[in-house]
Amino acid sequence: MMNYKELIAKLDRNSLPNHIGVIMDGNGRWAKKNNTTRLNGHKKGAGAVREIVEASVEVGLEYLTIYAFSTENWRRSKQEVHGLLKLIMNTLMQEIDELTKNNIVVKFIGSPKGLSQSYYDQIVENCRKSWNNTGLNLNVAMNYGGRQEIVEAVQKLVSDYSINKFQAEDIDRSLIQKYLYTDNIPDPDLLIRTSGELRLSNFLIWQSAYSELWFTETLWPDFNRQEFVQAILDYQMRQRRFGAAK
């Protein structure tokens, strides 16, 4: 395999994806393989997040959205849920100053339902430090589920409709988009999923209608910047083939 610098040099800077979404799967299997706890798998996974965020800045990506905790993850053991939420919050608190220094804008997207008010307040309080930045937009999908997102969008939309904010015939795709958590975020061009599962698992289901999908057998804690750039290179190959076929 080529090294990171060589891979970066091969990128076509004029056809970078604007937005990459990542389903970080395989922390549990990595833990099993390495004879350690699932929580240690998630911790190692947080290290891979750091590497991928750094690579995104180096590549000049505009939007990176990572699936950190889904609305379905509440079904895991109390211990794992607690550990995962604590890891995400601690990582945010530890890293926010460095993220901010690197001109990154950090935003959490997901449902406020089920998260305690104090978690929610801490998230906003920390993320806010980065909101005047202009570099990479890092979206952390937390308590996120695509169907739940659509449910909440419909609730707000119907509520606005009932106070005559718009007429039924004004409802179109762009109006619906405005009610999603991803209002003002472009659709992902490329979705990456690790650990060999070939599913979207309720991630950005409205937004990914035209996304290119890229899968790898690598377990998330082992995912690295070389593979990340390789995914972008493969995406660029697909783009070129698409152009040639027209």
By annotation, the residues acting in catalysis are 25, 73
49 forms part of the interface with ligand FPP (CB under 6 A) = yes
Q: Cα 42–46–50 angle (5° rounding)?
A: 165
202 forms part of the interface with ligand FPP (CB under 6 A) = no
CB count, 10 Å around CB of 24? 23
Residue from 53, 140, 180, 232 binding ligand FPP (CB under 6 A): 140
Contacts with ligand FPP, 215-234, as mask; x by CB under 6 A: -----x--------------
At 177, the amino acid letter reads Q
Q: Is the Cβ–Cβ distance between 143 and 116 less than 8 Å?
A: no
CA distances, 85 to each of 12, 99, 153, 166, 242 (Å): 37, 19, 25, 38, 41
Q: Choose one: 87-95, 123-131, 204-212, 223-231; the region binding ligand FPP (CB under 6 A).
A: 87-95
Residue from 28, 83, 110, 188 binding ligand FPP (CB under 6 A): 28
Residue from 11, 29, 201, 224 binding ligand FPP (CB under 6 A): 29
26 forms part of the interface with ligand FPP (CB under 6 A) = yes
Q: Which is nearer to ligand FPP, 23 or 153 (CB)?
A: 23
Taking the complex as a whole, the smallest distance from the CB of residue 170 to ligand FPP amounts, in Å, to 37
State whether the Cα torsion 218-19-190-81 is positive or negative: positive
Q: What is the dihedral of CA 23, 27, 223, 234, to 10 degrees?
A: -30
Q: Which is nearer to ligand FPP, 30 or 179 (CB)?
A: 30
Q: Is the Cβ–Cβ distance between 58 and 135 less than 8 Å?
A: no
73 forms part of the interface with ligand FPP (CB under 6 A) = yes
At 96, the amino acid letter reads I
Q: Is the Cβ–Cβ distance between 8 and 58 less than 8 Å?
A: yes
Look at residues 137, 134, 112 and name the one whose alpha carbon lies nearest to residue 123. 112
Q: Is the Cβ–Cβ distance between 229 and 55 less than 8 Å?
A: yes
Taking the complex as a whole, the smallest distance from the CB of residue 110 to ligand FPP amounts, in Å, to 12
149 forms part of the interface with ligand FPP (CB under 6 A) = no
Residue from 59, 61, 64, 68 binding ligand FPP (CB under 6 A): 68
Number of residues that bind ligand FPP (CB under 6 A): 19
Q: Which is nearer to ligand FPP, 17 or 45 (CB)?
A: 45
- From the centroid of its chain, how far is CA 64? 6
Residue from 8, 17, 19, 27 binding ligand FPP (CB under 6 A): 27
Residue numbers at the binding site for ligand FPP (CB under 6 A): 24-29, 42, 45-46, 49, 66, 68, 73, 87-88, 91, 140, 195, 220
